[in-house]
Amino acid sequence: MVRIGLTGGIGSGKSTVSQRLGELGAVVVDADQLAREVVSPGSQGLRAVRERFGDGVVGPDGALDRGALGGIVFADERARRDLEAITHPLIAHRTGQLMAEAGEDAIVVHDVPLLVEKHMGPAYHLVVVVEADHESRLRRLEGRGLSGHDARARMEHQATDEQRRAAADVLIDNNGSVADLVTQVDRVWQERLRPYADNVRTRTRARRPDVPTLVEYDETWPQQADRLIARISAAMGARAPEIEHIGSTAVPGLAGKDVIDLQIGVPDLHDADDPEFVRTLEDLGFPRSKDNTMDNVKDELPDPSLWVKRFHGSCDPGRVVHVHVRETEGAGWQYALLYRDWLRSDAQARADYLTEKHRLAGTCATTSEYAEAKEPWFNHIWPRMQAWARRTGWHS
């Protein structure tokens, strides 16, 4: 199963996106709909709400009087928390039921208005954010009968555009027509969501052309890495006690291949071979590569046992990720962190490395050849790294 979190500010067009994804084959779980369901007439939730807030919040027809309830909870923070304590567990339970019923091969779209505000992003394989400028959103809300004042008030109580962009793996622009929006949704479904789900089901890494292509530094690389780390940490818990962003994308200003490298630190590499460890990462979209079990041995530490690791790729066709699993006391873990931190602090080191990267990218035909050709450089700069570490008192 692939879980997609869908969100967007009020008036952004999120409901249209949700509807279209359902038409394409996704199983849509609508948080707003469930919030209404759990307090429907005769429900356990409505009985609890009535007991806490009184008969005045239930109309003559036995249904919840949302206006009366809103008048209480919007003016009283404690009352709002009490209401959430009643409804949130019921909504979570029903959400879990619907996701379980969807089946292992489903693409489940969880439509959640406050996904960013509630920091729910780590629960999903991807977060899709629908975005529109304030003027377009106001115009749509006023067209539904909401006053400009009320529309602005609701928008101000939601996350900012910047906060939603930081949470977004996929950003859908809805400043155009409905037809334009549907075209974007169809493209995301065909080019990313459907292939992603197929890859998770078959435990297949997504691959790009095997050509060493360097790109300029992307300011969003650290945000992308942070989202990935948060997902892995949420799923793995204590099995992944340390996770670090490494490689060129972790060095501000440095050009490199558009690949996010992460490393998970474990006390003992046997922990990484536990079936539950492997299964959890694979369910999250990071299948194990069984033939990649060693870092390249460096001349200064020639003992191969110090460089053993495990490696997981990514099923996401829109984001190449390499996950290296290493012992935190091992040479591979220490080298990756020292190399990253040295490059971050030393402008000349970055310049020298970039020169070498461009030279090799221009002469190597494949990424494998490129990676192998860099090894002499990594041996060559070891003394410079060690000298910097001693001078600065560096430690991992």
Residues that constitute the known binding site for ATP: 11-16
Paired strand residues for 8: 130
Please, which pLDDT band fits residue 140 given cuts at 50, 70 and 90?
Answer: confident
Instruction: Output the average pLDDT for the chain.
Output: 93
Burial of 195 (0-12, 13-18, 19+ CB in 10 A): middle
Task: Count CA within 13 A, CB hemisphere, residue 107.
Answer: 23
- Tokens 């990267």 belong to residue: 357
| CATH class of the domain whose range is 2-202 | alpha beta
Q: What is the mean pLDDT of residues 372-392?
A: 93
Question: Has domain 221-392 been given CATH number 3.30.460.10?
Answer: yes
- Give bridge partners of residue 262 from the DSSP assignment: 245, 323
Closest Cα partner for 243 from 355, 358, 321? Answer: 321
- Give the number of other Cβ atoms within 10 Å of residue 276's Cβ: 10
239 secondary structure, DSSP code? G
Domain boundaries, the chain: 2-202, 221-392
Question: pLDDT: is 259 or 299 the higher one?
Answer: 259
Buried b (16+ CB within 10 A) or exposed e, 247-270: bbbbbeebbbbbbbbbbbbbeeee
State the pLDDT confidence band at 396, using cuts at 50, 70 and 90.
confident
Report yes or no: 41 and 163 within 8 Å, Cβ to Cβ. Answer: no
310: tokens are: 């495990």
- Are 4 and 124 in contact by the 8 Å Cβ rule? The answer is yes
What is the average per-residue pLDDT within 217-224?
A: 97
Residues in the annotated binding site: 11-16
CA 250 from centre of chain = 17
**Using one digit for the tens of pLDDT, what is the confidence trace for 287-329?**
999 999 999 999 889 999 999 999 999 999 999 999 999 999 9
Q: Residues in the chain, how many?
A: 396
Q: Checking DSSP bridges between strand 242-246 and strand 260-266, what pairing results, if any?
A: antiparallel
Give the position of tokens 């890495």: 225
pLDDT (tens digit per residue) in 171-211:
999 999 999 999 999 999 999 999 999 999 999 999 888 88
Starting at the edge strand that comes first in sequence, how are the strands of the sheet with 107-111 ordered? 27-30, 107-111, 2-8, 126-131, 170-173
- First-last CA distance in the chain: 36
3 state SS of 320: coil
